[in-house]
Amino acid sequence: MAGEPQDDCLFCKIAAGHIPATIIRETDTTVAFQDINPQAPTHILVIPRLHHRDAASLAAAAPAVAADVLREAGEVAVQEKLESYRIVFNTGSGAGQTVWHAHAHVLGGRGLQWPPG
């Protein structure tokens, strides 16, 4: 059921501490950790503890938690001293989503082109 922890979800397991990750920050509702395959000098993922398949689904079901994710993405940028950075929510396989638990990528520490590829 949406919102409930999923036994087969990698990010639910990281949120529960059942799979190790390099945790950057934690709140009651979110966890921020280093991406295992960084695409920039700083590449941190911010996830809600609630399981929803993507950011829009999270925002529809639990808008306060979606706001927490966004605020934590900003806090990560402050903590990592990023002057410029990008927050990305890949949504759907055609956009590169591979993990079906909502997550924000926080990318920085190098020049970021716009528009992205």
Determine if 103 is a binding residue for Zn ion (CB under 5 A).
no
Q: Select the binding partner of residue 9 from Zn ion, ligand 5GP, none (C-beta < 5 to 8 A, by kind).
A: Zn ion
CA distance 54 to 73: 16
3-state class (DSSP) for residue 104: strand
* Interface size with Zn ion, residues (CB under 5 A): 6
Residue whose CB is less far from Zn ion, 6 or 34: 6
Q: Which is nearer to ligand 5GP, 19 or 67 (CB)?
A: 19
Q: Using CB under 5 A, pick the residue from 101, 103, 106, 107 that binds Zn ion.
A: 101
Count of C-beta atoms within a 10 Å radius of residue 13: 17
Residues binding ligand 5GP (CB under 6 A): 10, 21, 33-37, 45, 90, 96-99
CA dihedral of residues 5, 69, 17, 76 (deg, nearest 10): 170
Whether 103 is a known active-site residue: answer yes
C-alpha torsion sign, points 109, 20, 97, 90: negative
Shortest CB 67 distance to ligand 5GP, Å: 20
- Of residues 51, 52, 101, 103, which has the active-site annotation? 103
- DSSP for residue 115: S
Residues with active-site annotation: 103
